[in-house]
């Protein structure tokens, strides 16, 4: 009996000290059925989509950039969550010192799981071939700005040209995309937008 009590006490103590995932800005979906949290316990931090109120994990994504965030701030301060108005898809912006990324997950109706949806390639997004990195300054970015009321994602890409750059691509683009669990489709492109 003592052994059983000691074992139960041990597991209760371990559970009490287990890491609790960090809440993120904008993490709860508009319909309050899901949330995105950051689990920093694994060697590579993981973004989790969980059902509410059960906390059952229905989607996961490894942190896409530097797991330190590039500075001394908590990693959670480097992430911002943007939910589609229906709660069926979510964009997660992650920033670090020299780069900014965005990842998108969408819910599969059949399974209820959130799956990672890849962005189209640069030429499909912008209408221009990818620029040569040798003619660009470091600090490029790609991030989601918002979802439209119709549920389309507004996404921006920006690069700073080096003095040697002389191409036709303005290197600053805003793209509106439809998002489904099976992919994305370009709805509209704008070059040199004010908010990019």
- State the pTM of this model: 0.83
- Check residue 14 and give its pLDDT: 39
Cα-atom radius of gyration of the chain, to the nearest Å?
20
State the Cα–Cα distance between residues 130 and 164, nearest whole angstrom. 16
- Check residue 75 and give its pLDDT: 81
Mean pLDDT by 10 residues, the chain (196 residues): 46 48 92 94 90 96 75 80 97 82 95 97 95 86 94 94 90 96 96 73
Domain locations along the chain:
21-191
- Check residue 196 and give its pLDDT: 57
- Check residue 139 and give its pLDDT: 76
């Amino acid at each position: 009996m003592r052994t059983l009590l000691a074992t139960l006490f041990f597991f209760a103590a371990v559970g009490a000290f287990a890491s609790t995932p960090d809440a993120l800005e904008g993490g709860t979906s508009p319909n309050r059925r899901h949330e995105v949290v950051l689990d920093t316990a694994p060697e590579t931090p993981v973004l989790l989509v969980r059902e509410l109120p059960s906390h059952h994990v229905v989607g996961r994504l490894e942190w896409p950039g530097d797991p330190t965030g590039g500075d001394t701030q908590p990693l959670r301060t480097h992430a911002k969550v943007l939910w589609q108005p229906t709660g069926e898809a979510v964009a997660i912006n992650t920033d670090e010192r020299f780069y900014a990324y965005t990842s998108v997950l969408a819910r599969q109706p059949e399974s209820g799981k959130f799956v990672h949806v890849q962005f189209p390639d640069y030429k499909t997004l912008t209408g221009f071939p990818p620029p040569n990195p040798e003619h660009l300054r470091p600090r490029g970015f790609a991030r989601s700005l918002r979802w439209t009321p119709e549920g389309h994602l507004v996404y921006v890409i920006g690069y700073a040209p080096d003095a040697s750059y002389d191409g036709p691509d303005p290197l600053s683009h805003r793209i509106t995309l439809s998002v489904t669990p099976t992919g994305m489709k370009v709805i509209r492109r704008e070059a040199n937008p004010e908010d990019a």
